[in-house]
Structure 1
Amino acid sequence: MSGKSNSSGGGSSGSSSNYTPYTTTSTGTNSQGNSYDTRSQPSGSAYHYSNTNGSYYYSNGDQSTYYNDGKGSSSYTAPSGKVYKK
């Protein structure tokens, strides 16, 4: 699905919620069987991993990251470096 436009954020229709549009530039599977895609965002290059163990990871163009272990725990690192955990 190279070149497909998507959004990396949520929000309901009709609202003025913030989201970051992106274009998927490549997709694939690494040697461990984890799928990934690279993305072009207005703030820079980004990527997403979806792992075979149910976890997933986003690295965004604004230098923020998001990790979900697939078991109920997650962490978000803001561009400032501050870490938020659930």
Structure 2
Amino acid sequence: MKVRRMPQSIEEQVLAFAVEQIKVRTKAADMEITADSVLTDLGLQSIEAVLLSGEIEDQFQVEIDPADIFAHDTLGAFVREIAGRIEA
């Protein structure tokens, strides 16, 4: 019997995409990155925030100010805001 995977929510899609982009752009590749991860603990610098914002904008067709990333304590808080913008 083949198991059908349920489609991911927008929030799950943004989180998965952001995690992969953070791993590529920082030294956090070996870390477990989750929605509860504190952004400053991931080594995300301002240039990576700009690049991450651009990648999310391109992937999900949403406008992001790179400063929005640092306005949130955790990756999950940032992702929830972005998912809300996409769904609006």
Task: For CA contacts below 8 A with separation 6 or more, give which structure has more relative contact order.
Answer: 2
Normalized per residue, the structure richer in helix is: 2
Instruction: Return the TM-score normalized by structure 2.
Output: 0.25
TM-score (norm 1): 0.26
Structure with greater strand share of residues: 1
